[in-house]
Structure 1
Amino acid sequence: MDKKTPSIAMVPCPGTSHLIAQIEFAKRLLHLHPDFHVTILIPTLGPPSSSMNSILQSLPPSIHFTILPQVDPHDLPPNADPASLMLLAVTHSLPSLSQALSSLTSQTHHLVALVLSTFSVDAIEVAREFDLPAYVYHPSAATSLAFLLHYPEIDGIVVSRKFGELKLKEPLKLPGCIPLEAQDLSNLIPETSHDFHRTLVQVSKGLHMADGILLNSFEDLEPGPIRALQDVLPVYPIGPIVQNESNISSNSSECLAWLDTQPKNSVLYVSFGSGGTLPQEQLNELAYGLELSGHKFLWVVRAPSDGAANSSYLNAQKDVDPLEYLPKGFVDRTKGQGFVIRSWAPQIEVLRHGSTYGFLTHCGWNSTLESVVCGKSMIAWPLFAEQRMNAALLNDQFKVALRPKVNEKGVVEREEVSRVVKCLMEGDEGKEMGRRMGMFKDAAVKALGKDGASTEAFEKVVTKWENLKS
């Protein structure tokens, strides 16, 4: 390889969605600049899953990867939350990351930058060790980035957290953002004694130390938050960056074949992302509600969680058939109306399909942007992390999603499921959301065009990197 060939190293944090986000960033970079080379250095909390192996083995030739030595689980606190585990996995991997970078710099690669995930910011110290600029690729909304940057300042608005319920003196008003209510932040402002609080403070500090933040959003989607962020830090909105295709297996191709037989704009796609699971009671209510709605659906079903909705995010799913947990007779009764698929579906192909009309989603940002680029309006069903914040954006700001009401036990009952499905699929409100989503879809295409705002933002960063070649 020519010594002048520019190269970047990327450091994701554990979690399939974070790895996919960084890979898609790398593909976008290589699409715009085929002369670049990318190496992904992957911290791990355990042996690679089959899905991770499948993803890594399908990488294009210009993207290499190294799986860093597994972090000793005895070095991690028991019962830590996923965000803290992601951060700690990177922190404990810094020596092996430094060694891997040393190996890269001794080869013919000419490293020009280290690109980190949001929860990989501790690796900035390794970038400084090698005199490399450190950029953070934030794969979520500008509003969530604003929350993280301002997090150390916001605890004063909390009134109480009795019985796990957050109460605020007033809605949280972040610069340029819509006001956020307590329900949008319920699992994002922990007690100051909690590990998660310390994690958020550490991430906030790291973000402020970065040489720049690459944001997976675009100006026409979040103009207010983006402008406010750029008043504080070098923030580059380069999105929407999403997968262009899935790894389709014979199993997952069955659902596409089923979609081919359905009328245009007739199907609701139901999926809770790569790690979202529902308690058994909620799984039942969702099933009965979909059946009650009478509308066609394609549902990615997972085995229920024992409690935490994020229980499978950093862990393998139970080795069981998730269809066994559906209500008795459900699959037989809904034949013709619905199609259930176990654990995973080729999401981007499903959303692009002409038979798919809407998306019942957990509101992860990857899924949100995939819905935007495919022009599908949504039912917002957030589970954990910043998903409730994203749901507020979709419902209150973008006005492209319905948000079901929960009962006093936090369960969306079957009648409510049926109501929001009917409203999305056949009501005037659903039609208006579809029209608005079409406008965002057009804006996304324009942003990623040759002279689009997101492409121009990406080029500004790459120009800085290229100036470090010599």
Structure 2
Amino acid sequence: MAKTTNIAVVSIPAFSHQASIVGFCKRLVHLHDHFHVTCIFPTIDAPIPATLAMLESLPSNIDYTFLPPVQKQDLPQNASSLVLVQTAVSYSMPSFRDLLRSLVSTTSFAALVADPFTNEAVEIAKGEFNLLSYIYFPISAMTMSLLLHLPKLHQQVLCEYKDHKEAIQIPGCLPLQGHDLPSDFQDRSCVDYELILQRCKRLPLADGFLVNSFYEMEKGTLEALQEHCKGSNNNNSCVYLVGPIIQTEQSSESKGSECVRWLEKQRPNSVLYVSFGSGCTLSQQQLNELAFGLELSGQNFLWVLKAPNDSADGAYVVASNDDPLKFLPNGFLERTKGHGYVVTSWAPQTQILGHTSTGGFLTHCGWNSALESIVLGVPMVAWPLFAEQGMNVVLLNEGLKVALRPKINENGVVEREEIAKVIKGVMVGEEGNEIRGRIEKLKDAAADALKEDGSSRMALYQFGTQMENVGKCLSYSLMEVTK
């Protein structure tokens, strides 16, 4: 019987990152059933309810622990969500150190796998416990390449990125305009950018990188990343594309959801699903324009509605308790009754995207949502709001050509006529058919990557085998010590 190989993983207090790394852990222990994984979660105030629900279905060889919560009142006031999350992670590091010391002293641990924004944990794991340490990127290989090269880019570009006249070239990636770089990069004097820059400088500490993407989608980027790692100071560290990793389990709540029952009554490919993820919010003005744009398009829609907020990441850490319906334009629900359905709480996204009635997805293009749309073959209206979403849209719109991107006016607003135009472009007509054909091919490539001999499965197998070998060496070392 194979000896147990123990690893720990640590994420940030954000559901999208936690869901992705837990999905990675499930796939790892399914392929290597003698692995045991301990998931470690820093926490703000209390565990995220969606995370608690997700953790109910863990297999027996994955367990988890929440670090003592950091109170939101002790974090910087009026700070961005990025600063809140990163400060909470930093405050949690003493607790993480104590937990890791306890785990290592009682069990032979092979490695730590950390979110890129918990890489302070990598310093602790390598410097104090001599553990192999890996970074798991729940984002694209394209964004990973940007983060690896940011310290060099910071020196090369002396002005604000959005004011840089030429396209910015990141190795292995499509050319980027400065305004498409992550929102936290747009003011280089702010604390958000400085925090990211500090963490990017730590990335070369890692012994390897795992990325939630797949070879057939980001082949050129992977090759550039591998070349970069060979020439860097991190000992020829490996890059493993192990995706697409998405949430696929259906809860009892999703099976009986009213919006799914509504979908059952619609024609195939006739419904546009509208959702900006768990953390993104629109301003009141933009919410109005979206409502009128949906109405003007004449297309059936299922809209997951959140209360407006002037900050695009207004629900990233703490969601509003306001009733979203009261912010809709007067008469909107009455005028769209019969061909529109508005959800004001949670919706089973993968079940909706996989439904035969769903023909398009208006999305903020968070990486989890983008991958879910690709895996389920749904064309996109790509509307980035913050973080690295602009880069994801460049890949989806310009590179893969599976999405349409609405134009923003000089005041930073997408107007109703433009919204209606891109919705109809995806849902009906020749352009929509061409996008549908391309995303069907990408859907097939994603499925192939996960087959027994697929690129992502083989990459995960190679990573697991490396951990097994480390585990054997640790066991042998312990035997020598105890002789």
Q: CA deviation at 1:133?
A: 0.7
Partner AA of 1:312 in structure 2: A
Q: Which residue of 2 aligns with 1:237?
A: 241
Paired residues of 1:176 and 1:227 also in contact (CA < 8 A): yes
Q: Residues 126-176 of structure 1, C-alpha deviation per residue, up to 9 Å, x if partnerless?
A: 212222111111011111011111111223565755xxx921131100111
Deviating 4+ runs (over 6 angstroms): none
Q: Which residue of 2 aligns with 1:296?
A: 300
Q: Residues 270-327 of structure 1, C-alpha deviation per residue, up to 9 Å, x if partnerless?
A: 000111110011111111111111111111000111x111011011x22222112111
Q: Which residue of 1 aligns with 2:40?
A: 41
Partner AA of 1:43 in structure 2: P
Q: Which residue of 2 aligns with 1:321?
A: 323
Q: Which residue of 2 aligns with 1:18?
A: 17
Paired residues of 1:9 and 1:38 also in contact (CA < 8 A): yes
Q: Which residue of 2 aligns with 1:282?
A: 286
Q: CA deviation at 1:117?
A: 0.5
Q: Which residue of 1 aligns with 2:79?
A: 80
Within 2, Cα distance between the matches of 1:329 and 1:61? Answer: 51
What is the SS of the residue equivalent to 1:10? strand
What is the SS of the residue equivalent to 2:135? strand
From 267, 272, 276, the equivalent of 1:272 is 276
Paired residues of 2:112 and 2:134 also in contact (CA < 8 A): yes
Within 2, Cα distance between the matches of 1:152 and 1:216? Answer: 23
Within 2, Cα distance between the matches of 1:354 and 1:235? Answer: 36
Q: Which residue of 2 aligns with 1:96?
A: 95
Change in Cα spacing, 1:251 to 1:275, as seen in structure 2 (3 Å) is farther
CA RMSD of aligned residues (A): 1.9
Paired residues of 1:135 and 1:214 also in contact (CA < 8 A): yes
Partner AA of 1:116 in structure 2: A
Paired residues of 1:322 and 1:343 also in contact (CA < 8 A): no
Within 2, Cα distance between the matches of 1:356 and 1:72? Answer: 41
Paired residues of 2:182 and 2:386 also in contact (CA < 8 A): no
Q: Which runs of 5+ in 2 are unaligned?
A: 230-237, 473-483
Paired residues of 2:254 and 2:348 also in contact (CA < 8 A): no
Within 2, Cα distance between the matches of 1:250 and 1:87? Answer: 32
1:31 aligns with 2:30: yes
Change in Cα spacing, 1:313 to 1:292, as seen in structure 2 (3 Å) is same
Q: Residues 413-470 of structure 1, C-alpha deviation per residue, up to 9 Å, x if partnerless?
A: 1111111111111121111111110111111111111001111111111111001223
What is the SS of the residue equivalent to 2:51? helix
Within 2, Cα distance between the matches of 1:454 and 1:198? Answer: 33
Within 1, Cα distance between the matches of 2:145 and 2:471? Answer: 32
Q: Which residue of 1 aligns with 2:406?
A: 404
Q: Which residue of 1 aligns with 2:477?
A: none
Q: Which residue of 2 aligns with 1:380?
A: 382
Partner AA of 2:117 in structure 1: F
Partner AA of 1:78 in structure 2: Q
Q: Which residue of 1 aligns with 2:213?
A: 217
Partner AA of 2:209 in structure 1: I
Q: Which runs of 5+ in 1 are unaligned?
A: none
Paired residues of 2:40 and 2:67 also in contact (CA < 8 A): yes
Partner AA of 2:118 in structure 1: S
**86-95 or 173-182: which moved more?**
86-95
Q: CA deviation at 1:92?
A: 1.9
Within 1, Cα distance between the matches of 2:438 and 2:406? Answer: 20
Within 1, Cα distance between the matches of 2:254 and 2:144? Answer: 38
Within 2, Cα distance between the matches of 1:57 and 1:310? Answer: 27
Partner AA of 1:123 in structure 2: A
Q: Which residue of 1 aligns with 2:352?
A: 350
Q: Residues 74-124 of structure 1, C-alpha deviation per residue, up to 9 Å, x if partnerless?
A: 6643333323333332222121112112222344x4321111011011101
Within 1, Cα distance between the matches of 2:426 and 2:66? Answer: 43
1:126 aligns with 2:132: no
* Residues matched between the structures, number: 463
Paired residues of 1:190 and 1:196 also in contact (CA < 8 A): no
